[in-house]
A and B are shown apart, each in its own frame.
Chain A
Amino acid sequence: SQQGEEDPQALSIQEGENATMNCSYKTSINNLQWYRQNSGRGLVHLILIRSNEREKHSGRLRVTLDTSKKSSSLLITASRAADTASYFCATEQKTGNQFYFGTGTSLTVIP
């Protein structure tokens, strides 16, 4: 499959702790994006990192990209109960420009 794999599949942490989730992919990419999805809703775009970038920040979010290892990580600092959701990485393939989503990480933040 050309889909990315996310790790872990599920993560449960206490409010205030940091949450880290990882994404691995298989082919060369133009960019990698992270999305969140609340139950029964559409996806919300969080952050986009291009293939020539190594790290990006947005508020409490920090994303890293290692194209040599074909992997990315999303760090959410000082988590809140409202961060409870599923998080997906999506890669835009260099060949064909198709989007492929990872399998997702289900994050539960316990108040």
Chain B
Amino acid sequence: KAGVTQTPRYLIKTRGQQVTLSCSPISGHRSVSWYQQTPGQGLQFLFEYFSETQRNKGNFPGRFSGRQFSNSRSEMNVSTLELGDSALYLCASSSMPDQPQHFGDGTRLSIL
């Protein structure tokens, strides 16, 4: 079974731009969560989607948004990028929200 796939692996953007990150969950998994990982703040929960509905949202500004499609694939969008948005963005999928999460290798976003 293929694992969680995140694209792209690396991305370089400049301040003020916007970016869209993609996540394909494990086949059959309906729950997708997004996390931001930085050396200073650690792993912080962004949001969780289940069956195309946002089930939970972390404490991030409205510049961070996401969605989930009917095939469970998910996208995350960050608008008006700031230097502090530089991070590893991780996507995780699970069969149900209370089950173990399977992580992708992340998208490394660098803001210049």
List A residues at the B interface (Cβ < 8 Å).
Answer: 3, 30-31, 33, 35, 40-45, 48, 88, 90, 92, 96-104
Query: Which residues from chain B contact A88 at a C-beta distance below 8 Å?
Result: 43
The smallest beta-carbon distance between B15 and chain A, in angstroms, is 25
Residue interface bits B81-108, CB-to-A below 8 A is 1, else 0? 0000000001010000110111111100
B42 within 8 A of A: yes
**A30:B98 contact, CB within 8 angstroms:** yes
B49 within 8 A of A: no
**B100:A98 contact, CB within 8 angstroms:** no
B4 within 8 A of A: yes
Contact status of A98 and B104, CB under 8 A, knowing A30-B98, A31-B98, A43-B90: no
A42, A43, A48, A88 — which one has the most chain B CB atoms within 10 A of its CB? A42
The smallest beta-carbon distance between B93 and chain A, in angstroms, is 11
* Distance of A90 Cα from B12 Cα, bound (Å): 30
The SS class assigned to the B binding surface is strand
Contact status of A43 and B56, CB under 8 A, knowing A88-B43, A98-B45, A100-B45: no
CB closest chain-B residue, reference A4: B42
The 7 closest A-B pairs by CB, nearest first: A42-B103, A101-B43, A45-B100, A43-B103, A42-B105, A98-B56, A42-B104
Q: A42-B90, A99-B101, A104-B43 are in contact. List 7 more A-B contacts (CB 8 A).
A: A33-B101, A40-B105, A41-B106, A48-B100, A97-B56, A98-B45, A101-B43
The smallest beta-carbon distance between B57 and chain A, in angstroms, is 9
Residue interface bits B38-82, CB-to-A below 8 A is 1, else 0? 000011110010000001101000000000000000000000000
